[in-house]
Amino acid sequence: MLADKNIVKYRTELINSKMKLTENELDMLYILSAQIDKNDTNFNLITFSIGELEKKTNKSWNDTRVKSSLKSLNTKPLEIIKGKNWEVYYWLSSIKYRDGIITVRFNEELKPFLLELKGRFEQVSLKNTLAIGSTYGKRIYIMLKEYEKIGHRKFNLEELQNILQVPKSLNLYSNFKKEVLDRTIREINKNTDLDIWYEETGKIRKKVVEITFFMRKNILDFKSFKESIQDLYSNEPLCYYKNRLIKCSNGKLSESGKALLYFADTSDFVDTDTAKKIWELIFNHKRYFTPKVKTKLSKI
């Protein structure tokens, strides 16, 4: 049966490989990958029931759909590019179904990419990957997690489209922007631990040839956001409100234990109603505040 594991670990080569999987196939792959233990030296049999799969994915499954997804997954290889060389692998060595229980095993040739990981690899939350509702969003999320500490990742547009194996209709940038990039931004920002956006950083004769994703930790709850602000901006310029500079006291150092907003020119505290409005505005623009950005002060 499926162990209660929530971390998916992949080597860099696998993360950036060429593959064309559906949303269901990716979900299946991530769930199976999460079952691999860090101490495993060989691939063990993985068994699960349809009920367990439904609980993990929050989707309806039956034996026909499971069989179809697993068979389809195993007919769609991953292709790893190494300079002018390439390698092609298939995912599973066996798939069995008996009395409502599915049993699978990963292909032994995938050991370097899934077992005893050393060097460059990434681990991501299974919960976050399953929450993203598109195959392209799932792939891009993991590729960006690899660069989370750096804070940005640059892609040649054609290379990214090739990695994602998009259909010809999405080679047109306007379509790719709408159906892949913009949808991915919405899904990742709403459902995961990353707050991301992108810029068109390379053009040739007005044609977009390069994009750069930027990423930061996504603070989804208001309380955690306020606590991070009081640490990052303690008694420093925070923003402008109606052309007046706002600062924030450090709640940890105050008698009340609250982080209070005040006007920098008079040191007067902002009244409660106005402070609430300012906090809401800041939270709605949290991308520009966490982590601290050394740019012009925001005017809200």
Q: 215-269: per-residue pLDDT in tens?
A: 988 876 788 788 778 777 888 888 888 889 999 887 544 455 566 899 999 989 9
User: Do 18 and 64 fall into the same domain?
Assistant: yes
296 pLDDT band (50/70/90 cuts)?
A: very low
CA distance linking residue 123 with residue 37, whole number of Å: 12
Domain count of the chain? Answer: 3
Which range marks the domain in which residue 266 is found? 222-299
CA distances from 96 to 1, 49, 67, 93, 140 (A): 14, 12, 9, 10, 31
User: Do 209 and 103 fall into the same domain?
Assistant: no
Q: What are phi and psi of 17, to 5 degrees?
A: -80, 160
CA distance linking residue 185 with residue 212, whole number of Å: 13
Question: Residue 127's closest CA among 27, 12, 21, 217?
Answer: 27
| Threshold 0.85, pTM exceeds | no
Q: Decide if pLDDT at 182 tops 50.
A: yes
Instruction: Write the single-letter amino acid at 143.
Output: M
User: Do 141 and 107 fall into the same domain?
Assistant: no
CA distance linking residue 109 with residue 200, whole number of Å: 38
Question: 63-73 and 50-57 helices cross at what angle (nearest 10)?
Answer: 70
The pLDDT, as a whole number, for residue 22 is 94
Domain boundary among 152, 186, 218: 218
Q: Decide if pLDDT at 300 tops 70.
A: no
The pLDDT, as a whole number, for residue 253 is 43
Domain boundary among 127, 147, 176: 127
25 pLDDT band (50/70/90 cuts)?
A: very high
CA distance linking residue 264 with residue 246, whole number of Å: 6
